[in-house]
Structure 1
Amino acid sequence: MPYLESIQVFVRVVELGSITSGGRDLRLTPAVASKRIKELETRLGTRLLNRTTRKLVPTEAGRLFYEHARSVVSALNDAEASLAGFEGRPRGTIRVTAPLGVGRRVIAPLVPRFCDLFPEVDVRLRLSDRRVDLFEDELDLAFVLGTPQNSALTLRKIADCPRLLCAAPEYLARQGTPLVPQDLLDQGHNCLLLRYPRSPEYFWVLETPQGPQKLEVSGRYDADEGDVLLNWALDGRGIVMKPLFEVARHLDSGALVPVLEQTPPLPAVFGCLYPHRKLQDPKIQRFIDFMQRHCRAALETF
């Protein structure tokens, strides 16, 4: 068992780039995780990891061992899943990611309720507005807002989420209120954009009577976290595009007001993205079914 655990630790350390992160993901202290790596290197008689100024990287031998070890861990997870299905008792760990806004407001409150129903299932929730790779990041599923293009993955649609442009009243009093989409460009509005490396959102698409209109908007600053953009908008710094459920309470209070209501942004699809084979795992199937049912109900409360 220690040898198998050492392999699991090594795989997660390589994937996450540090002993602390790899150990934490497996609920081990950094000291225990480090010990497992040393035991594995001793058993194999070779160094597997090198430390750079920023993170741990595998040696040549480590990269070779990782490719095989990753398959072993994946096969073990599949074996455990098949046994759980045979026994009719979901168990094991589910690794999930979601965007920050919907993750905090919708997904996170539902996770403990799911775990109460299935006490042998652990859920590891990772929140990020950056685009993730389910295969590279060893995730079981991802909640998404948008229209994913990866044909190797299955999308379970949960709901269509209306989006809108909004800003604080003081910003509009200072900069003027755009009346048509082109005003966003001609009046030099500060558009608050969600951007990160390889981000697809360098433009906004609005619905108009003539069809979708693509606008290459710009702003003085952007961020890779949606809640930062929301706080900037509340502070009167610019116009932000948001799903309605994220800003509903601010619209009700008057802290934000809608902009260009007659030409709103295209709605976003909110759904759950996963490799098709994951549905063979009963814990994944139960989790997706649970979230699809309860997320839709939660969104209706906003």
Structure 2
Amino acid sequence: MRVLIAGSGGLIGTALTARLRSDGHDVRRLVRRAARTADERGWDPPSARIDEGAFEGVDAVVNLCGAPLLPGRWSAMRKQVLLDSRVEPTEVLAEAVADHGVGVLVNASAVGFYGNTGSAVVDETTGTGSGFLAELCTAWEGATAPAAAAGARVVTVRTGLVLSRRGGLLDVLRPLFKFALGGRLGNGHQYMPWIALEDEVGGIVHALEHQTLAGPVNLTGPAPVTNAEFTRALGHAVYRPAPWWVPGIAMKLALGQAAEEMALFGQRAVPRRLEHTGYEFRHRTLESALAAAT
């Protein structure tokens, strides 16, 4: 299979590129500069420009584009950047998929789609929630419509909190916990839908190769945990106590809406469609995922 990846330079994109190549697939990468290597093709989403021949022989497209949600407050300007960095590239790629008759588009999204769901279990049949992240994810997924209308199999992968030895959530938390500065956030009751990087990549590959899979797919581990449970497990994994507590009000004062939706809200999201279509998790428990990532 020849796969064209946008956003290949990030944590997930780098690991996905390596996995696909190790599986024998041909990978091309879209880059926002002039192509420098044989596997690169240049593009510029704001001007809807893609190098000629970029889609030649392409069987599937994976879109992982999007500016980081953190750090920093979500000002009106920052929200627009977060929206544009996701929706604009998706629109360009979805139109290109339609124009070139590409059969598959796997497009990034996030469990933020569901908003703050408390302790209720949510799967891919659950509707959109409220808040900026829910609005962002709805627009992001909606931008894939031209590809679906043209007959492409479109999968929107709603990713949870990715756990990796390098990069992602643990890059922020690991140093704090190793110096015994870790602790729960707010009341600690909010759910954290974690996923190991190996399963994040495995889930995307499954979406590419599983011909009957289309629509939203949760990329989360089978057993989401609360923030308090996650805190205890990470402290245990790095052999450090995690006695501290960060009051929710302090986080809101520091980061505003970003703190609320990224740290104090939660989703007890489960990977129903992955499991129903036969995906086998490498890391089914948080303890297993942390052992591999720490």
Normalising by the smaller structure, the TM-score range is: under 0.3
TM-score by length of 1: 0.27
- Higher gyration radius (CA): 1
Q: Structure 2-normalised TM-score?
A: 0.27
